A and B are shown apart, each in its own frame.
Chain A
């Protein structure tokens, strides 16, 4: 490639990177500013005085006794919300992935009526916006007496993530040659051993990809949390942090610190898993 083409390419890519990363950098910057600096004009790109006040309030605010009669500040619930988000994301992902993996495997390996249609119907279901599902599902939760419980969110997220996870795993298993399973059967492995020792390791990149998808969808969801949950202590993070707005003012410091803390787990997870996404693909096992 010619040097100037490369230079131009890098310039464009750098510009895009800045645009994409700026909100995150701004959030980090704001979260570290003292309250007096947040609204200063012209704004400072990087805080003159770094303070961890907002983080301290979020992470340890629950332990601070509030002034009598002032009620509990929303920041005291932050750790509850965080735990709720972790529980519902991990819970719904575990359920989705387990069902999707087993279902996709059977869809590619066993013959039964409607076998070809199932993945397509599933992906069709995923294409319907979740807004359409949320109220019928809310009414179902009401009749099951599950509203305002983490279980209702877990079930809700399974409904929206399962179809795509199933599709992803199905596409993945279709690429896993059946001969390697037959070879293992001939080698004397039981069906279960074949699945655990031969199929699952090969499917791992697919499982990781589907898990990341499912975790991100349920971690970032706002709609289901807003509709299904009421009590302060049961909210997921996305809905909870909205309480930093109140009628009169917005606590941008807390807001931005929460955003940073919310982004962190997903960023760490992605950085860690990315390596596994490409590793171990079945390519090369069978002629190639």
Chain B
């Protein structure tokens, strides 16, 4: 089975450095997601691994073998494109079998593999159709079938679900995960959708500006963000991030010294992060709560988001049960759960331990 090792990989388009000496290890048989905002270099990294782009430096290994000099066809990978990229003039069967055809696999064997894949993906009845006669979901399956038919060492997927409607997307998430568990093929999956990353992956690689920000399980990147970028990027609604000071071992936010003890070795200026779910809204005057005024209230189904202004231009969002009543301009206070507090260095952005 095949690890993917990326060492010091750089890529620039003109003066735009898309990847900056990137290191990455994708362990064999794992489902690894490259997650980041658009332009973070995740698709470029995937294309470099596929061989569709050449890097400006660094190396890529599959297991022990260096592959960065090989053309895509010799890397034994399969790729699912965002646009599906089916061959428009070929029917579904030939689309699925094309990789076998160019490798001169004899026809009977090819037909057998095509029908096996078609059966798994439940597209057996579509084999004689042309891509334009298929629905989006069916095209998606054919693209997947084309990738599976060759039994590649590695699957590369570039936002394969982003062109599907919401319902189909959530169904396909489960199916993709299921296929991965059945096949056990190393998979690298690119997405900007954190829900996909969180639900499907063994490991999430959070990227920004051509740099890997954090690699971890979905739980780790959610509950232990390595830096301010990851903290702000992962989670909906996003984590509250606001300035605080280290007041002789106690945390001070907007003139309120909180009964939260921190190491006095920490720098004076800090950035605090806390998820809206760990913030509670209480009445003013409660000890240890930060007083403020309700700035906005939003109902999001079973929960309600309450934004409380605790200082000019400084607002903290709390996610509370929908039955919690609060009106705009009410005087309230917010209490932060100290066990779920994240502390960051405002200069380096790195997470600090309390």
Contacts and interface: CB of A to CB of B under 8 A. Distances in A.
Contact of B50 (A186, A188, A201): A186
A282 B139 CA distance: 14
B102 A193 contact: yes
B85 A179 contact: yes
Contacts of B163: 287
Most buried by B among A201, A280, A287: A287
A201 B98 CA distance: 14
A283 B86 CA distance: 11
A185 interface: yes
Most buried by A among B83, B99, B150: B83
B132 A283 contact: yes
B259 interface: no
A265 interface: no
A287 B88 contact: no
Contacts of B102: 184, 187-190, 193
B77 interface: yes
B57 interface: no
A189 B71 CA distance: 10
A55 to B, nearest CB: 42
A180 B52 CA distance: 12
Q: Which interface class (under 10, 10 to 19, 20 to 34, 35 or more) fits A?
A: 20 to 34
Contacts of B150: 187-188
B348 interface: no
A191 to B, nearest CB: 9
A177 B163 CA distance: 16
Nearest to A193: B102
Contact of A186 (B77, B83, B103, B130): B77
Contacts of B98: 184, 187, 189, 197
B18 interface: no
A183 B71 contact: no
A284 interface: yes
B81 interface: yes
Most buried by B among A180, A189, A193, A281: A180
A185 B52 contact: yes
Nearest to A180: B85
Given A186-B73, A187-B73, A187-B146, A280 B88 contact: yes
Contact of B88 (A182, A185, A187, A284): A284
B210 interface: no
B89 interface: yes
B78 interface: yes
Nearest to A286: B83
Contact of B87 (A188, A281, A285, A287): A285
Given A193-B102, A284-B131, A285-B131, A183 B89 contact: no
Given A180-B88, A287-B163, A190 B83 contact: no
Given A285-B131, A285-B132, A185 B85 contact: no
Nearest to A176: B88
Contacts of A180: 85-88
Contacts of B83: 177, 179, 286-287
A287 B136 contact: yes
Interface string A202-218: 10100000000000000
A78 B24 CA distance: 75
Nearest to B86: A285
A188 B99 CA distance: 6
Most buried by A among B74, B86, B88, B99: B88
A288 interface: yes
Interface in B122-166: 130-134, 136, 139, 146, 150, 163
A202 B89 contact: yes
Interface string B89-112: 110000000110011000000000
Nearest to A283: B132
A186 B52 contact: yes
A198 interface: yes
Contacts of A287: 83-84, 136, 139, 163
Nearest to A187: B99
B101 to A, nearest CB: 9
11 contacts: A177-B85, A182-B81, A183-B87, A186-B77, A186-B78, A187-B99, A198-B89, A285-B84, A285-B87, A285-B88, A287-B139
Given A179-B85, A185-B51, A189-B73, 12 more contacts: A180-B85, A180-B88, A182-B72, A184-B87, A185-B52, A188-B72, A188-B99, A188-B103, A193-B102, A280-B88, A282-B88, A286-B85
Interface of B: 50-52, 71-74, 77-79, 81, 83-90, 98-99, 102-103, 130-134, 136, 139, 146, 150, 163
Give 8 closest A-B pairs by Cβ, nearest first.
A284-B132, A285-B88, A188-B73, A179-B85, A187-B99, A201-B89, A286-B83, A183-B85
